[in-house]
Amino acid sequence: MKVPFLNVQAQYNENKIAMLAAAERVLSSGCYVLGKEVEKFEKNFTEVSGTEYAIGVNSGTSALHLALLALGIGPGDEVITVSHTFIATVSSIQYTGATPVLVDIHPDYYTIDVRKIEEKITPRTKAIIPVHLYGMAAEMDAIMSIANKYGIPVIEDAAQAHGTLYNGKKVGSIGTLGCYSFYPGKNLGACGEAGMVVTDDSSLAAKVRKLRDWGAEKKYYHDLVGYNYRMDAIQGAFLDVKLRSLSKWDSRRKEIAEMYNSQLDKNMVVIPKLNPQSTHAYHVYNVRISNRDLLQKKLTEKGIATGIHYPIPAHLQKCYHFLGYKVGDLPVTERVCGEILSLPICPYLNDNQINYTIESINEIVNKNEFNNLHAQESITV
C-alpha cells in the first residue's frame, strides 16, 4: 500500500467545477493582480482570523516581513522568536535589518518556552513572534502578559494554524498582527504562493496595504518605499473556493490524529501533547522516538511517506552562523529536531492507509533497536 504525505491534487479534483469557473472569471476579466477577487477572499478570510482587517499578499514570508515593517522594525532592533520553526520566521526578521533573538521551546508543546522569553528582552527588543507550530497555539496568555509588561508588540506566525482557537479566540487576532501562509501544502493552500496579514489595528492595516503595493495608496504616488508583495487575483479566487472546504478538511485531520493518538504504541513513541487552552489544526502530526532515522527508513520501505519538520534548527543553519549560536545553546530544540518524525495526515487519506501506517509503526518499533524507555522519559535539559 502507498501512503503519500500530501495530496493537493485531490483538493482540486473535489472543487474542480468551482475552481475552473473561478479561473475562467479571472482570466476573462483581465484583472490579474489584487482587485475584487482578492477583496472578496480577504473579507471571507476574516472569519478564519477573527480580525477586522485581512490584507492579501504574495506569501507568508512577505506577510511576516510587512508585519515587522509596519511596526517600524529595522536595523539595530531585536525580535524574539524560536529556532524550531520554518526558516521564513527568522529570515523575515533579518530582511528588515533587525537581529533575530532565538529562544528554546517548551519540551512538551514544542512552541516558544515562555519561561525563557523575559531573560532575552533588552531595550532593543521591538517584537515577539510566537509560532503556532504544527497548528497548535503557542502559550498566548503568558506571551501577551510579558509583551504588555514591556510594551512590546506581538506578531503571531499562524502560517500552520488556520482555524486554531486559543481560549476560544482565533489565532492571528490575539497579538498585534497575525500572519498566514497559503503555500500549497498548508491547511488552506493556493495553487501557487500567497499569504495574509491580519490585524484589528486600522493604521497598521493601512500601512501593510500600502507597503504590499509599492508604498502607494494612489497609483504612482509613493508615500513609503514599498514592495511588490501583492496577491494574484487567481490565487484569491482559488483560495475563496477552497476556504469553503477548510473546516471539513480540518475535521478529517483531527480524525486521523485521533486514530494515531489512540492506536500508536505509546510505550515506544511520544505522541503530541495538547495544550488544553488550544485546539489543534494538525498541519503536522509528529511523534518523537530515539531512533528516528531508522523508523523513517523502514516506513519508506513500506511505501509510507514521512517528513521531518524540521531537521536542522535555524540557529544551526549555515546561513545563520553569523548570529553566533553554537551546538548546545538551545538544547530542547536540538534534541526535538533529532527525534521527530511527521506522519501522513493529509485529509484525503482513507482509514485503511492510516491503519496500515499505525500497524507498520507499531510493528517496526517493537522489532528493531528502539529504546522503549524513551517514550516515558520527558526532556529535562
Ligand X SMILES: *Cc1c(COP(=O)(O)O)cnc(C)c1O
Q: Indicate the residue among 110 and 370 with the shorter CB distance to ligand X.
A: 110
Q: Indicate the residue among 181 and 306 with the shorter CB distance to ligand X.
A: 181
Residue closest to ligand X when measured from CB atoms: 60
Bridge partners (DSSP) of residue 99 are 78
* CB of 345 vs ligand X, minimal distance in Å: 15
* CB of 363 vs ligand X, minimal distance in Å: 32
* CB of 190 vs ligand X, minimal distance in Å: 9
Cα 262 to Cα 95: distance, rounded to the nearest angstrom = 43
**Grid coordinates standing for 141?**
496568555
Q: What amino acid is encoded at 154 in this protein?
A: V
Q: Indicate the residue among 192 and 303 with the shorter CB distance to ligand X.
A: 192
Contact 12, 19 (CB under 8 A): yes
* CB of 60 vs ligand X, minimal distance in Å: 2
Q: Decide: residue 219, CB within 10 A, 0-12 exposed, 13-18 middle, 19+ buried.
A: exposed
Q: Indicate the residue among 78 and 193 with the shorter CB distance to ligand X.
A: 193
The strand order across the sheet containing 99-103 reads 99-103, 78-82, 125-128
Contact 204, 177 (CB under 8 A): yes
* DSSP 3-state percent helix, strand, coil across the chain (nearest 5): 45, 15, 40
Q: Indicate the residue among 58 and 353 with the shorter CB distance to ligand X.
A: 58
* CB of 102 vs ligand X, minimal distance in Å: 14
Q: Indicate the residue among 45 and 86 with the shorter CB distance to ligand X.
A: 86
* CB of 173 vs ligand X, minimal distance in Å: 17
Please state whether beta strands 155-157 and 177-181 pair in parallel, antiparallel, or not at all (unpaired).
Answer: parallel
Chain residues that interact with ligand X, rule: CB under 6 A = 59-61, 85-86, 88-89, 131, 157, 159-160, 181, 183, 193, 195
